[in-house]
Amino acid sequence: MTADLNIVGKSVARNDGTGFVTGRTQYTADLAFPGMLHLKVVRSPVHHARILGVDLSAAREVKGFVRALTHEDVPHNVYTILGLIGVEPEEEFVLAVDRVRYMGEPIVAILAETEAAANEAVAAVRLDLEELPAVFDMEEALAEGAPVVTHWGNNTFIYEGDTKRKVRLGDVEQGFAEADHVIEHTYRTSPIEHAPTETTGCIAVPEANGRYTVYTNTQAIYFSLDNTAIILQVPNNQLRFIGGTVGGGFGGKVDVIVEPLATLGAMLTGRPVRYVYTRTEEMQVSSTRSAEIITIKDGIMADGRIHARKVTALVDCGAYSRQTPYAITKLAANAAGPYRIPNVWIDAYCVYTNRTPTSAMRGFGVTWVTFAHEIQMDRIAELVGLDPWTVRFLNAHRNGDTKPHRKIVADATLIETMQAAAELVGHELPAEQRAMTSAPRDAEGGR
Amino acid sequence: MAKVRGTGMAAVNYPTGMNLGGDPSQALIHATTSGSFNVVLAATDLGQGLRTVMAQIAAETLGVPYEQIVIQTADTDTGPHDMGTFASRATHRVGNAVKVAAIEARDAVLQLASEELEASVSDLELDGEGNVRVVGSPDKSLAIADLASRAQFQYGRTIAGRGVWMKPKSEVDPETGAMDPDSTQAYACTVAEVEVDTETGIVTVLSIRSAYEVGRQVNPKLVQGQIVGGAWMAVSHALYETTEPYYPSRDHRPKDFGDYLMPGPADMPAVESVVLEVPSANGPYGVKGVGEMTANSPIPALVNAIHDAIGVRIDTLPVTPEAILRALDAKQAEAAADAPAPAEEASA
């Protein structure tokens, strides 16, 4: 099919491959600069607490200690990453002020001559904390009387005044009444780590012209620069971000966590500052994929068609929501899967708990709901006595169909993709399934 | 106790790009005096091969060999704005921006060539090897390298292009959820086979076979890379990974790869696939996107295969050996409870 093209469609050797396989590709952590300081963070040892006091006196005595950064040093200390595209409110603290909401939350940053000195000074900081009741379970977090994680009084993100992201199509209750069977099942998933080979990190370097160059492994270089400029209240053109080569991102490096503190450190000391996560920080402090509890209630016709679907999704964003509210909108847009369902009701909640914040991860909002709807499809097949292929061909959406969020299906190829998979594995499809296409139903006189 | 086998399938769709806030990327291209082209971007290469596919798209559009393209990316002092590499958007968005920029640069080449060759632009074509020629007159041709040099030293003109591609912002209707959240959709269907050891709960993945429809493939080997990597991640998500094994308890959090379990090479079967190409309406050369979704269809396919093998549905991820043994115990207990109790009941 690529006869009309010269290079698009050809497996040319990648232009950066030699660097990877010979170990010569330069990553952020490979860089070093004269006079470079090391930044390490004092983190909350508990899940939820009031901060009564922070005593830096012993840390200051550590040989190699240069200075500490506290919330008072951060010009705009409360932010939300998606503020750049208008998401409100600002909610996360660059450095904690009077409260910590998850184990590992940054309280103080230490700048020191060596990594060892920075670690020693971090260990010497004395925290006076009054522990508060913490909530880890989403259903408990939504219940009356639960510890409140957010600063607005309940434990959900607010979408345009509502506690949930909603999708509504048709009349789902009437759909259940018309259905021959109604089934309801709940699917649960765990938080998981992005586990990139290269941990999150950056080095901020003061330049002679008064600007700051930040070498970073961010996945989104302007996103990181723009958020850093807001947090530090400096003109964007005072910052130069250099990156582009990343040893594994999977969504975790869309967060903007290391650049603001490293750049602030460079500004306040006039020296290059390196802030690179240890493996343990990557595993325990960096965002995870959200855990989810997804309940799918389906009204099924005797022939296997899905007539109505109600989805209630709880998504655990941890103590700060980062990119998760956006992922939930994607979840809501994809909860019907690649199937035509005429009556749909989706309620998706972003739930705050006292755990590590969650954020973007490969499959952003879609991976877990895909897991749920595809296990559900097998259950539907079993219920009406169809094989798993047939129930999917029967319900497959086609060009011109309407999705629950009212977008008209285009570029659809579910049917063709399943036909190709059947051929690959030697599964014999009946003639009518072999003859199906994703062409609009009208073209063939409807279903 | 035995080793039992099962087969499962799953089918998925996956959206390209985002909607909230608008989703743009830019590209700038300029010719050097030797006829190569520098493509300047601010997009990040996560290892998926962005630099390679952008060079391919630029070379295709400019009609020069792939080796004539230099990609410079992610220095904010030079690179024009880009939203970032996520949402399976980079090949689609950045690729479109590169194509738009390359068309503008190509038009500058053709304009100069039309003056030099005394032929109208519409009578010119690119040979894909760095030459402009007059259609039907193979001897009337000029090397783009010569044109680029003359543009600079003789004419004082630029051969350059600017490109931007944006998915406009789509507000979500708060009551109905009506929205336009993506640019196109790619599809996947996976069939997985497993063997479950009912004594240990250990699942051996015997095969993962998938069909993908990803629009135009820019570089089929890089697409394969995504497919194989996605299958690994899927096996890991389905059977191994969790930061909190007894979620919502926060105990047993991992410190390193020693206690964050993921599959190794010996745990993976060969990953087989076929790729269909149905060009999208709005991607560069019909691209859709393949990145994220490769991890999605194998997860439910594996869990459905486990059900096929042991006859128990497990609705919580990951499906660890412990989860399987507990599910089998529960099934056994249920069967025992359902069975008519023998002696006591008879004597009662």
Confidence of residue B343 (pLDDT cuts 50, 70, 90): low
pLDDT at A426 over 60: yes
What are the residues whose beta carbons fall under 8 Å from the beta carbon of A127, sequence distance 6 or more? A42, A44, A45, A51, A53, A54, A55, A107
ipTM, interface predicted TM-score of the complex? 0.96
Q: Which of B37, B85, B208 to mutate to test the interface with A (most CBs of A within 10 A)?
A: B85
pLDDT at B98 over 80: yes
A contact residues 35-74, partner B, Cβ 8 Å cutoff = 47
C-alpha A378/C-alpha B10 separation (Å) is 9
Pair of tokens at residue A148:
């409140």
β-pairing verdict for A212-216 and A201-206: antiparallel
pLDDT at B346 over 50: no
SS3 for A398? coil
- Per residue in A330-343, pLDDT (tens digit) is 999 999 999 999 99
C-alpha B151/C-alpha B159 separation (Å) is 7
Q: Letter for the amino acid at A416? A: E
What percentage of chain A has pLDDT greater than the value 70?
98
Q: Which residue has the tokens 């010119």?
A: B124
Of A1, A337, A356, which has the smallest distance from its Cβ to B13's Cβ?
A337
A6 interfacial to chain B (CB closer than 8 Å): yes
pLDDT at A85 over 90: no
What number is the average pLDDT over the span A240-267? 97
C-alpha B207/C-alpha B7 separation (Å) is 9
Q: Which residues of A touch B277 (CB under 8 A)?
A: 1
Q: Determine the pLDDT at residue A3.
A: 58
Q: Which residues of A touch B177 (CB under 8 A)?
A: 165-168, 332-333, 346, 404-406
Confidence of residue A105 (pLDDT cuts 50, 70, 90): very high
Contacts A–B by Cβ distance under 8 A: 371
B209 interfacial to chain A (CB closer than 8 Å): yes
Q: Sheet holding A65-69: strands in order across?
A: A65-69, A106-112, A37-43, A273-276, A201-206, A212-216, A239-242
Q: Which residues of A touch B297 (CB under 8 A)?
A: 370, 374
Q: How far is A73 from chain B (nearest CA, A)?
A: 26
Q: Which residues of A touch B299 (CB under 8 A)?
A: 367, 370-371
Q: Which residues of A touch B254 (CB under 8 A)?
A: 193, 283-284
Of A5, A242, A417, which has the smallest distance from its Cβ to B189's Cβ?
A417
Chain B residue at shortest CA distance from A332: B177
Of B11, B42, B191, which has the smallest distance from its Cβ to A221's Cβ?
B42
Q: Determine the pLDDT at residue B347.
A: 46
- Per residue in A17-27, pLDDT (tens digit) is 999 999 999 99
Chain A residue at shortest CA distance from B216: A9
C-alpha A63/C-alpha A61 separation (Å) is 6
Q: How far is A269 from chain B (nearest CA, A)?
A: 24
Q: Determine the pLDDT at residue A443.
A: 61
Please say whether the dihedral angle defined by the alpha carbons of residues A164, A165, A171 and A177, taken in this order, is positive or negative: negative
- Per residue in A137-146, pLDDT (tens digit) is 999 999 999 9
β-pairing verdict for B203-213 and B271-276: parallel
Check CB contact under 8 Å for B219 and A11. yes
Q: Hey, which residues of B are catalytic here?
A: 292
A1 interfacial to chain B (CB closer than 8 Å): yes
Q: Would you call A323 exposed, middle or buried from its count of C-beta atoms within 10 A (0-12, 13-18, 19+)?
A: buried
Q: Determine the pLDDT at residue B21.
A: 77
Q: Which residues of A touch B49 (CB under 8 A)?
A: 14, 16
B267 interfacial to chain A (CB closer than 8 Å): no
B17 interfacial to chain A (CB closer than 8 Å): no
Of A185, A248, A421, which has the smallest distance from its Cβ to B210's Cβ?
A421
On average, the pLDDT of chain A sits at 96
Phi, psi values for residue A130, rounded to 5°:
-110, 110
Confidence of residue B348 (pLDDT cuts 50, 70, 90): very low
A contact residues 233-252, partner B, Cβ 8 Å cutoff = 239-251
Q: How far is A201 from chain B (nearest CA, A)?
A: 14
A200 interfacial to chain B (CB closer than 8 Å): no
C-alpha B263/C-alpha B92 separation (Å) is 31
- Per residue in B237-258, pLDDT (tens digit) is 999 999 999 999 999 999 999 9
pTM attached to this predicted model: 0.96
Q: Which of B13, B48, B131, B169 to mutate to test the interface with A (most CBs of A within 10 A)?
A: B13
pLDDT at B192 over 60: yes
Check CB contact under 8 Å for A222 and B42. yes
Check CB contact under 8 Å for A191 and B177. no
Give me the long-range contacts of A435-439 (CB less than 8 A, separation at least 24): A436/A393, A436/A396, A437/A398, A438/A396, A438/A398, A438/A399, A438/A412, A438/A413, A438/A414, A439/A398, A439/A399
Q: Determine the pLDDT at residue B18.
A: 85
Q: Which residues of A touch B18 (CB under 8 A)?
A: 326
Q: Determine the pLDDT at residue B344.
A: 54
Confidence of residue B51 (pLDDT cuts 50, 70, 90): very high
Of A279, A291, A406, which has the smallest distance from its Cβ to B247's Cβ?
A291
B contact residues 112-151, partner A, Cβ 8 Å cutoff = 128
Q: Determine the pLDDT at residue A207.
A: 98
Of A8, A13, A245, which has the smallest distance from its Cβ to B60's Cβ?
A8
- Per residue in A355-399, pLDDT (tens digit) is 999 999 999 999 999 999 999 999 999 999 999 999 999 999 999
B317 interfacial to chain A (CB closer than 8 Å): yes
Q: Which residues of A touch B250 (CB under 8 A)?
A: 47, 103, 136, 355
C-alpha B298/C-alpha B235 separation (Å) is 7
Chain A residue at shortest CA distance from B190: A421
Q: Which residues of B touch A138 (CB under 8 A)?
A: 248
